[in-house]
Amino acid sequence: EVQVVESGGGLIQPGGSLRLSCAASGFIVSSNFMSWVRQPPGKGLEWVSVIYSDGSTYYADSVKGRFTISRDNSRNTLFLQMKSLRAEDTAVYYCAKDLFWNTISGVLTLPQSWGQGTLVTVSS
């Protein structure tokens, strides 16, 4: 059974750093496409980042240059390193295993199997 479990959230001061983890079971992270999506309290969903099976990474403009997505193949775990955190980064962060399609214009992916989320609160 495919399962992902996030951890690492908490209260952090503005300007601080935090690393989120996403432990996977039932599939191999490095062979798949994985996303992070966040949801501020009481608001909608916002895509954050994706890592492809070939290691390519992409980010939302709102986090580009501050967040880094990566994976540890030996631990079958996905990470999101967050730096220079701002109040507007406060959200529940979900990781997900993606569906994917190979198209003429490239690979398209879509979050399919989501974890339960981990809450990050940026506040002084």
Residue count of the chain, please give it.
124
Residues 14-33 that bind other proteins (CB under 8 A): none
Instruction: Give the binding range for other proteins (CB under 8 A) out of 12-20, 71-79, 82-90, 106-114.
Output: 106-114
- # residues contacting other proteins (CB under 8 A): 21
Instruction: Give the binding range for other proteins (CB under 8 A) out of 9-17, 21-29, 40-48, 74-82.
Output: 40-48
- Spell out, one character per residue from 80 to 99, where the chain touches other proteins: x when CB under 8 A holds, - when not: --------------x----x
**How is the chain classified by DSSP, letter by letter?**
--EEEEE--EEE-TT--EEEEEEEESS-GGGS-EEEEEE-TTS--EEEEEE-TTS-EEE-TTTTTTEEEEEETTTTEEEEEE-S--GGG-EEEEEEEEEEEEETTEEEEEEEEE---EEEEE--
Under the binding rule (CB under 8 A), the answer on residue 112 touching other proteins is: yes
**Which residues of the chain form contacts with other proteins (CB under 8 A)?**
37, 44-47, 50, 58, 60-61, 94, 99, 101, 108-112, 114-117
